[in-house]
Amino acid sequence: MKKLEPGKWNREHAAHLLVRSGFGTTPARIHAAASQPLEKTVAALFQTPENVEPPEWITDGAALKPDFRDLAGLSDDERRRLRRLYQREATQQSRQLTGWWIERMINSPCPLQEKMALFWHGHFATGIRKVKVPYMMYLQNRTFREHAFGSWQALITAVSQDPAMLVYLDNTRSKAGAPNENYARELMELFTLGEGHYTEDDIKAAARAFTGWQVHTSRYAFFDNPRTHDRGTKTFFGHTGPLDGHDIIRIILEQEQASRFLVSKLWNFFAGSDPDTETVDELARLFRDSHYELKPLLTAIFTSARFYDPDIRRTQIKSPAQWLVGSCIALGIDQPDANLCINAMRTLGQELFSPPNVKGWDGGYAWITTSSLTARYNLANQLINQRKRQQPREGQRMRLQGSYRVDTADVLPWDKRTSLEEARGHLEQVIFQTVLSSDDRRKFDEFFSTQKPVGDWTDSDVRNILHVMMSTPQYQLT
């Protein structure tokens, strides 16, 4: 792909790279990124933290399935009470998991890793309503993070052996003699090749090959069960033999279509629109040549001239995650109220760990409805004006309520308030990470011209200005 010329690397482009490869950014980070060469900035995007602290409730015992034989001696009432207890705990855990992930998106030193984890969550969509056990969703989330931009083949293998996925697409119930085709079908249709690039016979063969890949009976872990695996001969894409899951994945990746499929989807995710044929051709070739390693592919996308074209910049509708996390970053909220976040993500149509179906989120224009846009305007107001809450009550084990209050002197420091022009310019960078188009600029100029002299702005005035800036169509784009 044609690379962006070094002379064209500037502040605007740096801002574009940071917001698209992450969820939002700050003027200071944009400045730092623009001050070094593009290659260096892109390379730095892949620096992952050494240790990711899991949610509090992840303990050694969490991997063990509850032993339902314990229930045998209990009365109906006791059993019901126990079940309710499990259920309440699972609800708490799943809420905390969501809050934990959103905090990671806001605070991780490697936003691209979280952004890719979100991409994979939408790509290998798996929902807790069917999986039920939050621990399995956590495991999957960890897998997405660990394989965020490593080898695609390794990731597909890990997902094919992921307990949540094995439950979600029923492979754990698939046995020799009675194969379940659900996973085999979606693996090809949604995860690797796309509709029309395989036959029904390929699905049948793949389903047989994946038999025996199941969730362990006593632990939430993968178990390769030789007793339920179909060792017979199968024919898949012209290859005949006693194929197993690994063979299927290998053969799928021999298809050129596999590279084209993922490259298109990734381009769309980061650039915000479908790639042209030439872009697909070039990126797909590069992806195959690098043996399906994702880092060279992403590097090629982020250093390409096309990625910085004017029709790509500030034309993507923010996903709810991008909107929420980006808003927190702009407003300096590092520990948001988890209840507010969970509620916001649901209202805005991107409930984490609960995508609408195996196809994931539609994205793009589909994020915006009359209701969700109204909700975005109102939630912006809520985020800006959230009051400090009390610390968690005694005995309330899990922290769900944040204790933040937006500090307007942080968002707009005093030294940026020497003139209206300066204050406005700073807020524009904080909120939009860019210099707005001349049309938009006129609109905001008109608004700012009605404000008091900058020196007189109170805390409440700044909050109101932030509220106005974030309740705009312009704010929905990145």
For binding to another protein (CB under 8 A), which residues are involved? Answer: 76, 80, 127, 129-130, 186, 273-274, 315-317, 346-347, 349, 356-359, 362, 364-366, 368-371, 373-375, 377-378, 381, 443, 446-447, 450, 464, 467-468, 471-474, 476-477
- Give the residue with the Cβ less far from another protein, 162 or 181: 181
CB 178 within 8 A of CB 141: no
- Give the residue with the Cβ less far from another protein, 36 or 369: 369
- Give the residue with the Cβ less far from another protein, 62 or 317: 317
CB 163 within 8 A of CB 224: no
Closest approach of Cβ 473 to another protein, in Å? Answer: 4
Closest approach of Cβ 194 to another protein, in Å? Answer: 14
- Give the residue with the Cβ less far from another protein, 160 or 471: 471
Closest approach of Cβ 332 to another protein, in Å? Answer: 20
- Give the residue with the Cβ less far from another protein, 57 or 377: 377
Closest approach of Cβ 246 to another protein, in Å? Answer: 26
Buried b (16+ CB within 10 A) or exposed e, 71-92: eeeeeeeeeeeeeeeeeeeeeb
d(CA 260, CA 288): 9
Closest approach of Cβ 366 to another protein, in Å? Answer: 5
Q: Which residues pair with 317 in a beta bridge?
A: 477
- Give the residue with the Cβ less far from another protein, 152 or 448: 448
Closest approach of Cβ 443 to another protein, in Å? Answer: 7
By CB atoms closer than 10 A (0-12, 13-18, 19+), residue 340 is buried
Closest approach of Cβ 446 to another protein, in Å? Answer: 7
Phi, psi of 219 (to 5 degrees): -130, 155
- Give the residue with the Cβ less far from another protein, 43 or 373: 373
- Give the residue with the Cβ less far from another protein, 253 or 266: 266
Closest approach of Cβ 40 to another protein, in Å? Answer: 31
Expressed in angstroms, the distance from the first to the final Cα of the chain is 23
Q: Which amino acid is at 309?
A: D
